[in-house]
A and B are shown apart, each in its own frame.
Chain A
Amino acid sequence: MTDSKYFTTTKKGEIFELKSELNSEKKEKKREAVKKVIASMTVGKDVSALFPDVVNCMQTDNLELKKLVYLYLMNYAKSQPDMAIMAVNTFVKDCEDPNPLIRALAVRTMGCIRVDKITEYLCEPLRKCLKDEDPYVRKTAAVCVAKLHDINASLVEDQGFLDQLKELLSDSNPMVVANAVAALSEINEASSSGVPLVEMNTQTINKLLTALNECTEWGQVFILDSISNYSPKDEREAQSICERITPRLAHANAAVVLSAVKVLMKLMEMMAPDADFVVNLSKKLAPPLVTLLSSEPEVQYVALRNINLIVQKRPDILKNEMKVFFVKYNDPIYVKLEKLDIMIRLANQSNIAQVLSELKEYATEVDVDFVRKAVRAIGRCAIKVEPSAERCVSTLLDLIQTKVNYVVQEAIVVIKDIFRKYPNRYESIISTLCENLDTLDEPEARGSMIWIIGEYAERIDNADELLESFLEGFQDESTQVQLQLLTAIVKLFLKRPADTQELVQQVLTLATQDSDNPDLRDRGFIYWRLLSTDPAAAREVVLADKPLISEETDLLEPSLLDELVCHIASLASVYHKPPSAFVEGRGLGSSRRALPTRSGSQDILESSPSHGERSGVIPTQESLIGDLLTMDLGGPPVPSSVPATPFASSGLDLLSGGLDGLLSDSPSVPPPQAAPAPSVGLLGDIFGLAPSASTSYVAPKQMWLPAARGKGLEITGTFSRRNGQIQMEMTMTNRAMQPMMQFAVQLNKNSFGLVPAAPLHVVSPLAPNQSYEAVLPLNPTGPVQRMEPLTNLQVAIKNNIDVFYFAVVMPMNIFFAEDGQMDKRVFLSTWKDIPAANEVQYTINNVNMSADAVSSKMQQNNVFTIAKRNVEGQDMLYQSLKLVNGIWILSELKMQPGNPTLILAVKTRAPDVSAGVNTAFDAILHS
């Protein structure tokens, strides 16, 4: 006898036949008929017409038959509410049955029948069952309260079921406790007011922790998930919870392990990050996470998605486990892609060699998505681990040689990022890239290639021809490519104006006249206007320094990451989206989870719980940040605190007025300007934001070139920043016997890319014993080369006698940009974001000033006070400043009234500059 035959009946008149069988006297026949009905129901046939006949079979002592009838009832009761009433009596009777299995079955089924009239009858039996002597009935009744709450929430509250449910938390049977916890959590979550109906306290948590040791694996999951919503009073309580949960990490069930990880990750937030307890706990977390990778692939997938979060939140936990994330040939594709993601996150200098050889291997696999991701990963490694850049680039070149189309395209996209990160280092490969021009058919790859050509137009002999070839099909390109092409040709024109005028004319016409795309048209007009009004300004705008690109990609925004950490193991952690993004809301708005914060922590700045977004570095997924306009549209929010000086825009027409607004908000407008030049016109207005009277600190002049070495030429000098312009101020004295003339200056490549903005002007001839005060404006727009020390500048001065070389150290404060004020929230999140390792402390002695005086003094030097606090008699100043090359520096000044010693803590992503900043602070405060 096989039951599969029930799936195959398809004849007509089936319903009628079933009807007669259901009413048959023979028990055996009845049972067979009910089975057939259930089989039909399964495959999606409508058998609701048989309702009364099936319900008639309910009164039976055969448990199997009873269960089948109940199954039918659950499916169709809603569509036949009146008929369903017929079943109530049987339910009520069954709830009194001596057999606990039947009592539980009745109460379980009744809760699934969503008919109001039945619900009324449910209350009494449920109340009894919640107090039943048998734990099996109690555990079933506990879930039934949740069912009832789903149907009619107010009924549950009015009838006092919540209190009964709470009592079950102290039940002697662990499974009853677990189900009660599950039901309570669900009811809390669904609460319409957003306020949990049942608050957890220390006692209940203790009870739960006790039950945890004894209940089934699923019960443990319910309990752990529920504990994860509890915020302990203090650090000690958090520690004791952690200690009692840690043994769960050795459970065979991945869900128990991940739920335990969730609780631990959350509670660790309450403790000092360097406490022994946290360090030990972190060590214990790694092995179970690695073990999850040997479970079934589906579980692995969930584990990997969570590990991705954990690696972002606490990179230390898995830093030594790179190897376990190596991809296996037979892994399902979803596991492979996730592993690759984590590999990139874990890559560092010590393991990069291994990672690279793995990635190279993956780049030859079959799955297109995977290969692309692997290629992209190689590029990420180059950007993340500088010493490996060389090898990454050569690996990418090898891959380009394979001529596999999608590999080539992907490689070009990442090489563009590498060029961004390390300008002027790998240009030699451009010719290889150009060979593949014809095969590129994806917009992103085309856009990247065009960007490269535009950026290095001066080094590519036939750049104009190449760009012209793209221009032929301009209309057919995607917007992304069109925008790139427009910018690239303008760049080309600015670099080689002589022979490309026609080309630029052509592209501007195409962009402004033949396109319907407003972005493209606007950008075209802006360029046109800039070029026609003031090519010099256009140069500064279009060829401006690009902001740094960040080392990490696809990092989750910190507040989202924190929220997701609270949802480890759940669907939210798999999607990497907050639950509100995929769950239809029942009181969801209020149930956003947040990590607990450490009490007594120094983050007194925290004025609002929501974190601002990262700033300072531009994430690279904005792949096309070729110039300021894309930045303006797609870049991350920037501190909107550019000094608000009124613009002289009244007399300008609409377009230039708009331009004003656009440019002044944009972060990448180079702050320096050609200060004294009267010819700036429109641009002068745009950039005329500097405060009129600058009193920033200028160091006294020092001897740079003694007369003995300068064949009679003596130079003393210093650096200053006036009205946003870096200047080199020199006193040149002729101590020789003959007049000097034909002065010129040249600067070697330096850390900040300083180049003279104008030729050196010295009165000529400089008569013997005559002195001249020369001022040389400098722009930070030249090629960059790292110097040691960072602020070292090598200068060559030439006159009719000889060329003289000398090196000077620039004070760091001349690089403090005017737009260095950070938004409070951005400051806070950035401060948290920067690893503690980047924090450097200094002491500054002999400062006798009040905090306010310090603050205003610093402000004059473009160090902006974001917040001032007084903690335990100490004044704390939180300050931000921005270097002209886009590096943000955050600092904390601690001062005690009456004590002339200040403590300065500097935090920045580029710790190399910290020392210079300290020296600058010291100098400013003592000036």
Chain B
Amino acid sequence: MVGLVGRLWNLQYKSIVKEASGKTLAVAKFFCVLHVTNTYLCTFALAYGPSMVPTFNLTGDMYLAERLSIKFGKVGPGDVVLLRSPESPRKVMVKRLLGLESHSITYVVDPMKSDRCDTIVVPKGHVWVEGDNIYNSRDSRQFGPVPYGLLEGKVFCKVTTFLSLAHLMLNFDAVNCTSSLSQPKNKRRQSLYNFNCYIWIAEQSRKAQSSWIKIEMDERQCKTYIWPPKEFGSLMKSGMKDPDL
């Protein structure tokens, strides 16, 4: 009697274990495929910060970056690239590629203070990257040419997803902004806020009087700063920077 109950219980247990392991294996296989696609084909990236204004928003945008062109060496000046920071190995940053190896780059050393330019020849195996917002960007002008092996992807498309909105909510702490993410009643007013924000930042940068802290404080006035979906689309090479500069 006990033996029969024991065998029945074993049978039930075995089938549960078998089903659980089968389902786990299926999930593991799915994640493997997702991971391989992420590493070798195409990946999402969330970029925030002031260094690529106005191409990318201050508070964060989500992009698709593909990895194949890096592996085949088909990047050129003018491309927006994802690269691992040479100063902080755990950080990945987004900048615009301005020069490949043996290109001669002329750059403005410190646009906040003076108009002094400097020219450098990019050494072998390295690239020169700069942010579009040269007034507030930590790039090759500070840490020098970056080895090509640090490039991780080439950004080709901006996307709107609910995910990016969620990240936007989280990143409000990063910019010290206390506004809520409520939808404005008037969508036109919302995009006007964004537009005004961009113009304000650009103007302040040009006047060379702004600092990162000041931008943060005035962000609070842009209460409904929601990234507009109408900017969906591929990023053209002809961005803000003249690659031949």
A binds B: no
Residues on A lying within 8 angstroms of B by beta carbon are: none
